[in-house]
Amino acid sequence: MPTRHLTCSVDECHNQAATRGKCRIHYRAWLKTQPDPKPRTGPVSDRLWSKVDKSGPTSCWVWTGCLSEGYGRMRVGRRTIGVHRIAYELAVGPIPTGLVIDHLCRNRACVNPSHLEVVTDGENNRRGVGACAVNARRVNCKHGHPLSGDNLALYRGYRHCRACYRASGLRSKAKARAARLASGVTRRSGMFRKGCRVMWADGREGTVSMRRYSTCWVDWDGGGSSEVHKDDLRRAPLA
């Protein structure tokens, strides 16, 4: 028998029902209103400080409980929150919306409020030790040009050095010109204009009488004319 797809039991919601007659979005919203199936006893502050080691050789207060990527985690209600955020809110106050906690001591497991500072996400990344943070703190490019003022170019969120960009363009043009000279061509596709002296592969010389797209009409010195593709021509040597 074909499977019957039920819609969400919430009014004006036409999404497919997933659990308890509700779609995923409304089920998660309903779940937040339910009591914690595994309640943790005792105040949050007692649970937090009971797992903090303040007797270490440094001034860091190290969290001895669960860790995730080096950061302490603790369950509060139905949510699992970073213990450094909980410690800051208990000792200092609420964390403004859109801001994060930066560890000044660079110890992710530390919950000492004096080692925690509220910063923006961008500032937190710049203070890090990863490749993105190192590049963000650079004031000069790899060739020593300043990444500021008129020499700074922003493209797709990245900083670029204008001096290096110009130098790279000049090197590319010089390389292309050297390749054209090696092949006997001194200019690019628009080089053969009306009245230009050219030479064919068999050695015949002539004058371009008309050019259309990638072909040229050539009046040959020995008489006659023909249509030749520009790639088969080269400039005639000067007399």
Contacts of 133 (CB under 8 A, 6+ apart): 125, 126, 127
Number of H helices, E strands in the chain: 6, 14
- 49 CB contacts (<8 Å, ≥6 apart)? none
Q: pLDDT value at position 216?
A: 84
Enter the DSSP assignment of 140.
Answer: B
Phi and psi at residue 36, to the nearest 5°: -65, 120
β-pair partners for 62: 53, 110
Are 61 and 52 a contacting pair, CB within 8 Å? yes
Q: For the chain, which domains are there?
A: 7-36 (no CATH), 44-131 (3.90.75.20), 142-183 (no CATH), 184-239 (2.30.30.30)
> Alpha-carbon distance 192 to 235, whole Å?
8
DSSP three-state, residue 228:
strand
Closest CA to 213 of 233, 184, 189: 189
The pLDDT value recorded for residue 3 is 44
- CB-hemisphere CA count at 13 Å for 52? 22
Angstrom CA distances, 149 to 19, 134, 140, stand at 57, 20, 12
Question: What residues of the chain score a pLDDT lower than 70?
Answer: 1-5, 36-41, 180, 183-191, 238-239
The number of CA neighbours under 13 Å toward the Cβ of 32 is 6
Supply the pLDDT for residue 112.
Answer: 94
**181-230 pLDDT, tens digit each:** 776 555 554 567 788 888 887 888 888 888 777 788 889 888 888 888 87
Give the pLDDT score at 1.
40
Distances (CA, A) of 76 to 44, 140, 164, 174, 221: 7, 46, 52, 65, 93
